[in-house]
């Protein structure tokens, strides 16, 4: 950690915010020596996480039941891989002799390695949770100062994915008063966080990345920074994904909040580099069927990791159909085009909306248009084909990705397309030459 800070110290002791010097400081933060492993994480993660369904009330049986559900519900066949354990899996104290984190034997009588072996036997992968501070968000041992020990431990257990939270960081990281062993600078360029804190946060996460990279097995690295600390400026050089929101809730307001929070940063998305708008709430109540469809579609076209967060045994057939939609998942997991869909102006005189409703993106199959009706009633949504970025000229057919069927007729590049969309619902189209 110290070496990373020393590397940027010359930038910190001169200049003022807004100056080229500070720009250089941020450039230094954005360019760690070793990027995340490219042996994993090319496309956004697909899987499941314990937290939204169970919180701290987790155990081996629930994790293995989820893994079995991947197979029986067709999730594995659809591409879902990761069965991830969140907070509260360990004892409150480390092993006094080797300082390893100890799985709670009441919850995991066969240890994490026993669960990992059974998950791997199903052809799936397993994830674990830790924290960059002294303790996790629920008060269990964090990894600060123990990065190498924990990375080696997780690797020896067969872990394939690490969610790394950011609770309980030391208070003196935010020192803004005097030189006392922390690097001092008053505020970050956005005027919110002390730069000393941010430098230390980034450096610790880099150190953990290095510890993971030293292991023999590739471990996907998920940063959980809730959109703070200007994470989009350096997250792509540190982890495979980084959280852009606070914790998800099963509500339409969270879906629109996630969209609003993520839209300005969609250009960050690419291979091995994913904005994470938190876990799925489908199946947890609070969302209508239309809202669940949009919840899923938004995560797809924004290419966020999709980690289901419910008791999978309670999903209805219609909910399973949503989360296993073959064509939407193919767009999300496309290995030829990395960037996500971006907002576009539907027509030359389209009104400006608080939350963009029209998005376009490319895949190996062609050009895609996604439309979300954020309003409270059914509305007609119209776009001009000439406004769709990169579509070109000619005659086109429109394919409905939700139904898997072509729409009737063809459309010229000078025509418009209109569709009625119920409140809080969406459409997803593939547009190709006729």
From the list 378, 410, 409, 406, the residue with the least C-alpha distance to 396 is 410
* β strands within 206-345, DSSP E: 220-223, 241-243, 274-276, 306-308, 342-343
Q: HSE (CB half, 13 Å, CA atoms) of 134?
A: 6
Report the distance separating Cα 315 and Cα 320, nearest Å.
6
Which of 247, 311, 400, 406 is flagged as catalytic? Answer: 247
From the list 278, 274, 266, the residue with the least C-alpha distance to 308 is 278
**DSSP result, 334-346:** -SS--SPPEE--S
The answer to whether residue 150 is catalytic is no
Q: Which two tokens stand for residue 155?
A: 């690797």
**Size (the chain), residues:** 434
From the list 400, 399, 397, 401, the residue with the least C-alpha distance to 327 is 401
DSSP element (H, E) containing 363: strand 358-363
From the list 371, 368, 341, 282, the residue with the least C-alpha distance to 75 is 282
Report the distance separating Cα 258 and Cα 241, nearest Å.
15
Report the distance separating Cα 182 and Cα 173, nearest Å.
7
Whether 126 contacts 85, CB under 8 Å:
yes
352-367 as b/e, with b when 16 or more CB fall inside 10 Å? eeeebbbbbbbbebeb
Burial of 123 (0-12, 13-18, 19+ CB in 10 A): exposed
Please tell me what DSSP assigns to residue 303.
T
**Tokens 């010097």 belong to residue:** 21
CA torsion sign, 352 to 303 to 133 to 199? Answer: negative
Whether 310 contacts 53, CB under 8 Å:
yes
The answer to whether residue 165 is catalytic is yes
Which of 104, 165, 182, 204 is flagged as catalytic? Answer: 165
**Tokens 């914790």 belong to residue:** 247
Active-site residue set: 165, 247
């Amino acid at each position: 950690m110290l070496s990373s800070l020393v590397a940027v110290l010359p930038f910190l002791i001169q200049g003022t915010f807004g100056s080229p010097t500070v720009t250089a400081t941020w450039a230094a933060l954005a360019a760690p020596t070793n990027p995340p492993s490219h042996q994993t994480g090319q496309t956004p993660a697909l899987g499941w996480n314990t937290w939204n369904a169970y919180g701290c009330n987790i155990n081996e049986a629930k994790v293995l039941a989820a893994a079995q559900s991947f197979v029986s519900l067709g999730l594995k066949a659809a591409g879902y891989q990761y069965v991830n354990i969140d907070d509260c899996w360990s004892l409150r104290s480390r092993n006094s002799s080797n300082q390893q984190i100890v799985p709670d034997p009441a919850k995991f009588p066969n240890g994490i390695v026993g669960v990992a072996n059974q998950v791997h036997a199903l052809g799936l992968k397993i994830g674990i949770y830790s924290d960059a501070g002294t303790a996790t968000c629920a008060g269990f041992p964090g990894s600060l100062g123990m990065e190498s020990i924990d990375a080696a431990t997780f690797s020896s257990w067969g872990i394939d994915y690490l969610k790394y939270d950011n609770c309980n960081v030391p208070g003196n990281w935010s020192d803004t008063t005097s030189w006392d062993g922390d690097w001092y600078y008053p505020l970050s360029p956005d005027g919110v966080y002390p730069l000393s804190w941010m430098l230390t946060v980034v450096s610790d996460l880099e150190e953990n990345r290095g510890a993971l990279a030293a292991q023999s097995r590739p471990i996907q690295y998920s940063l959980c920074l809730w959109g703070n600390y200007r994470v989009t400026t350096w997250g792509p050089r540190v982890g495979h994904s980084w959280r852009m929101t606070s914790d998800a809730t099963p509500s339409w307001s969270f879906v629109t909040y996630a969209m609003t929070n993520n839209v300005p940063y969609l250009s960050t998305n690419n291979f091995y580099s994913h904005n994470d708008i938190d876990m799925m709430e489908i199946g947890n109540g609070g969302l209508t069927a239309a809202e669940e469809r949009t919840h899923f579609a938004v995560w797809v076209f924004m290419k966020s990791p999709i980690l289901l967060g419910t008791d999978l045994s309670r999903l209805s057939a219609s909910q399973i159909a949503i989360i296993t939609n073959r064509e939407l998942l193919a767009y999300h997991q496309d290995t030829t085009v990395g960037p996500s869909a971006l907002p576009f102006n539907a027509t030359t005189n389209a009104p400006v909306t608080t939350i963009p409703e029209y998005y376009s993106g490319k895949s190996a199959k062609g050009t895609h248009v996604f439309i979300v009706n954020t309003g409270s009633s059914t509305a007609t949504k119209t776009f001009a084909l000439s406004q769709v970025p990169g579509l070109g000229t000619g005659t086109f057919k429109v394919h409905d990705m939700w139904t898997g069927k072509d729409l009737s007729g063809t459309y010229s590049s000078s025509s418009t397309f209109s569709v009625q969309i119920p409140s809080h619902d969406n459409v997803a189209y593939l547009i190709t030459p006729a």
